[in-house]
Amino acid sequence: MQFANLTRSRLEHADLSGANLAHATLAGTHLSGATLTGAGLQYAYLTEADLFRTDLTAANLQGAVLTNACLTEANFETAD
pLDDT digits (tens, 9 = 90+) for 33-50: 999 999 999 999 999 999
Strand partners, 10: 30
Residues in the chain where the model's pLDDT stays below 50: none
What type of residue is 2?
Q
Say how many residues make up the chain: 80
**pLDDT of the residue at 51:** 98
Cα gap 15→72, rounded to integer Å: 19
Cα gap 2→32, rounded to integer Å: 21
Among 69, 48, 59, smallest CA distance to 22 is for 59
